Amino acid sequence: MRERVAELERAAKQNEAAREKVAKLEDDASFFDQQIQKLLPIASKLGGYLDFGFFRATGTGAGIRSDIGHRHFPEWRGEVPQSWVFYGDPLSTMVNARGEPADTGESRALTFDSVDSGGKSSFAVNALNMQLFAAPREDLTLTASIDFVPRARDVSAPGDRALGDFIDVKLAYAEYLVPIERFELSLYAGKFDSVLGWEYRSREAPDRLGVTPSLLCRYTCGSPLGVKARGKFWDGAMILNVAVTNGSHGAETFPFHGEIDRNDWKTAAGRIAARAPLGAGLEVGLSGSIGAQDLQSAEDALHTHVGVDLHLDWRDFDVTAELMQGVVDGKAAPGEAPCSLAPCLRYRGGYVQAGYRVLNWLTPYARVDVRDALHRSGRSFVYVSQALRATAGVRMELGPHLLLKAEYNLNRELGRAPQFPNDVFTSSMLLKY
């Protein structure tokens, strides 16, 4: 009997020990499950891509040349020294989605030569992009996009103190979805997408049909800093965007963009668009902006811009077209050369881009750009840009995470400027994560 009781006591102790082990395992499993649940939202908030490419630019890699002897533009004789009268387009030899030219050459307006290839072929990590998204509440989100850009540094150059590599915070904004039932309304604050034209929507390399931006993207593809409101009415049949920002909506690769304002008058901009149910959608928009010129303190030196755009996604065709023009007044001191205190600019142009999805993974495309611009800074320099660029390329989507793109850009000078070698072949391998 006593042996029987002892066996029961031993069995009870073993059962108790087993229950304790099971409880501990359950606690451990619960802990790990909680940790996983904490990490899963982080995974959903992180994304981005690697943009790796190869390019070859003809000539020196620069899109401009000096008018030595005022041979082609004699009207600038006595106004600007001959070596500082440039023809061509300093951004026409772009090699990636960031719009970086293969070389800036002798440019006096674009002195930051981030690629500096000298016209030679090269591999390049165009950008390592990181995108952040957080939703503290259902109606409040945070969005950011950051490019890590590896570039060269000449350690033997005495004045070169830069590291070569740099960081570009492209987007950093909060969005609030206003609880209205009759239409959609979102409010933004921070550094957000442009409201001008259409092309800014495909600024990120995976979203862009081709490799490089258009010649006009410099005016509309930037990320201004300020506040914005976006409304969609009648189930998206009409879209209205309005923004008040520190400065223009130009790209940072163009010297008419400043994030921190130097004047009190902000830039007001807006776009109104109508959508029609043709294919996946036909959208036609009108946009414009007005405000004090960036990078200077005068309130009456204005930058005005107006443009129209069209985008059609129909069956296997993707077509985009834009026309735009603008004026930057500049500023001059009494008795000084025009545009001596702040540079002047007038521009107009347009492009048409079309792609056709031959297969689910294969889309050839073509684009034609035309740009006419005059950019002057007192006696320091003048750029006479009358350019045409024809682009042909192919896009290959090899699954949801891998893209391959290759294109050739044929640059031609219009008007009195002579032709010079400045064509570009470029490519891009995009790995999305």
DSSP three-state, residue 291: strand
| Structure-token pair, residue 152 | 């060269």
pLDDT tens for 139-160 read 999 999 999 999 987 777 666 5
Q: What pLDDT sits at residue 44?
A: 56
Query: Does some domain include residue 255?
Result: yes
Considering its fold, how many domains does the chain have in total? 1
The helix, strand and coil proportions of the chain, stated in percent and rounded to the nearest 5, come to 15, 45, 40
Q: Could you give the angle at the alpha carbon of 353 between the alpha carbons of 281 and 107, nearest 5°?
A: 135
Q: What angle do CA 238, 239, 245 make, to 5 degrees?
A: 155
Predicted local distance difference test score (pLDDT) of residue 82: 86
CA 230, distance to chain mean position in Å, is 20
> For residue 34, is it within any domain?
no
Helix, strand or coil, per DSSP, at residue 404: strand
Using CA atoms, how far residue 109 sits from 65, 351, 358, 371, 412, in Å, is 13, 24, 42, 17, 21
- The closest of 42, 282, 322 to 197, measured between CA atoms, is 322
Rg (CA), the chain: 28
Distance CA 382, CA 294 (A): 19
Would 74 be classed as within a structural domain?
A: yes
Structural domain range at position 424: 47-432
pLDDT of residue 191: 98
Please list the ranges in the chain whose pLDDT falls under 50.
Answer: 5, 31-32, 36, 39-40, 42-43
> 56 lies in a domain?
yes
Name the strand (E) or helix (H) holding 4.
helix 2-45
In a domain, 386, yes or no: yes
CB 77 within 8 A of CB 70: yes
What is the C-alpha separation between 118 and 325, in angstroms, rounded? 32
Report the candidate in 47, 57, 46, 153 with the shortest Cα–Cα distance to residue 96: 57
CA distances from 23 to 14, 26, 29 (A): 14, 5, 10
Predicted local distance difference test score (pLDDT) of residue 182 = 92
pLDDT digit string (tens) for 358-371? 999 999 999 999 99
Q: What is the DSSP letter of 415?
A: T
Tell me which DSSP letter residue 293 carries: P
23 part of a folded domain: no
**288: in domain:** yes
Report the CATH number at residue 350. Answer: 2.40.160.10
State the CB neighbour count (10 A cutoff) for residue 406.
18
Q: How far apart are CA 56 and CA 241, in angstroms?
A: 39
Q: What is the pLDDT of residue 258?
A: 87
Residue whose C-alpha is closest to residue 290's, from 320, 270, 262? 270
Q: What is the pLDDT of residues 167-195, one digit of tens each?
A: 999 999 999 999 998 999 999 999 999 99
Q: At which residue do the structure tokens 């409010």 appear? A: 187
Q: Given the DSSP bridges, would you call strands 46-57 and 362-377 parallel, antiparallel or unpaired?
A: unpaired
Per residue in 155-164, is it b (16+ CB within 10 Å) or e — as a string? Answer: eeeeeeeeee
Q: What is the rounded average pLDDT for all residues in the chain?
A: 91
Residue 37 lies in a domain: no
Query: What's CA 77's distance to the chain center, in Å?
Result: 38
